[in-house]
Amino acid sequence: MKKIHWDAVLMPLVGVTLTLLAWQMISGRTVIRNLADGTVEEVRLGWVQDLPGPLQTWEKTRKYVVEPFAKREELDQGILRFTWYSLVIVAKGYAIALILGTPLGFLLGLSSTFSKMFDPIIQVLRPVSPLAWMPLGVVLFANSGKSANELAALFTIAVCAMWPTVLNTAVGVRAIPQDYLNVARVLKLSRTQTLLKIMIPATLPYMFTGYRLSLGIAWLVIVAVEMLTGRIGIGNFLWNEYNNGLYTSIVLCIVTIGLVGFSLDRAMSLLERRFKSIL
């Protein structure tokens, strides 16, 4: 039997507890005061008066968590149901990013001319925020009727999430050992064969690093996209609750977004390690 490392389990728990305690300490609390004239007044006290504490957050947002897939109304659904809507759109946009990004990365890695031509453009487009791409997406797909919102969202996710895949694939292709290429030449492999049997397998670990980073970005972008387009999802829920002044829900959303992003990253890194272990 594998020995359990208690440190690895215990220490994060201690960290979480300490964080929760600190959060509780600095957050504000509601106090009801009886005024002299007999009326009752509610006041927020504490260091950060408007920040809801962990207990308050739990009490106010319980219904979203205990019934995570419930659908009461359009804007009143379980937190995981909202997350699911977001994940679906992220998956689509992410798929587009990979389908476009991988071949582009291969072209950049294979041809130095192509790389010289397009690398500067990529470097300029790469740091552009999703908030800047979004309006362009909306304009571009304004005439596509019902699906305009979705297309704009997909465009934004794809165009933002593509770059790590492109750049890592390009690096991977450039890093293919000359030995493998010599083997291909000596065995007289055709171009397709060289690509399929040698270049793609040799680049896979780099590609997966890119895929992992891209997925992280796609998940970052979704919140911004939903805020702007009003698509139902966790980002949209967060924005609505902000407009309604329900700050506890915002905290819940932040925690959920973080946990989902973390899980996605873990899953991808497991996949990535599998491919790295082969080489």
Partner 1 sequence: MSFLVLQQVSKGFGPPEARREVLCGVDLSVKQGEIVAIVGYSGAGKSTLLHLVSGLLKPDAGFVTLGGRVIEGPGTDRGVVFQNYSLLPWMTVAENIRLAVDSVFPDWTEERRSEQVDRHIDLVNLTHARDRRPSELSGGMRQRVSVARALAMDPQILLLDEPLGALDALTRGTLQEEISRICRASGKTVVLITNDPDEGILMADRILPMSAGPGAILGPSFPVVLGPTRDRRALNQDPRFKALRAEVVAWLLGPGARPAVSVSRKLTLPDLEPEDLEIPRPLIGGRRRPRRRSEERRETVDLTP
17 vs 190 by CB, closer to partner 1: 190
What's the closest the beta carbon of residue 189 comes to partner 1, in angstroms?
Answer: 5
- The phi and psi torsions of 162 (rounded to 5 degrees) equal -70, -35
Q: State how far the Cα of 138 lies from the Cα of 18, in Å rounded to an integer.
A: 44
- The least CB distance from residue 188 to partner 1, in Å, is 5
Task: Give CA separation, 97 vs 50, 78, 94, 135, 216, in Å.
Answer: 39, 29, 5, 19, 12
User: 207 or 253, CB closer to partner 1?
Assistant: 207
For residue 262, the minimal CB distance to partner 1 (Å) is 30
Q: How many residues does the chain have?
A: 279
Q: Exposure of 259 by Cβ count < 10 A (0-12 exposed, 13-18 middle, 19+ buried)?
A: exposed
d(Cα 79, Cα 205) in Å, to the nearest integer?
Answer: 34
Nearer Cβ to partner 1, position 148 or 183?
A: 183
- State the minimum distance, in angstroms, from the CB of residue 187 to partner 1: 5
Q: Angle at CA 62, nearest 5°, toward 56 and 64?
A: 130
Instruction: Please report how close the Cβ of residue 275 comes to partner 1 at its closest, in angstroms.
Output: 9
Nearer to partner 1, 71 or 185 (CB): 185
Locate 100 and state its tokens: 């476009």
Give the closest residue to 254 by CA, choosing from 266, 242, 268.
242
**Nearer to partner 1 by C-beta: 154 or 198?**
198
Q: Residue 207 CB, nearest distance to partner 1 (Å)? A: 13
Which residue number, 39 or 178, has a Cβ lying nearer to partner 1? 178
DSSP E strands in the chain: the ranges are 29-34, 40-45, 71-73, 76-77
Question: Which residues form the interface with partner 1 (CB under 8 A)?
Answer: 179-180, 182-183, 185-189, 193, 197-198, 201-202, 204, 278-279
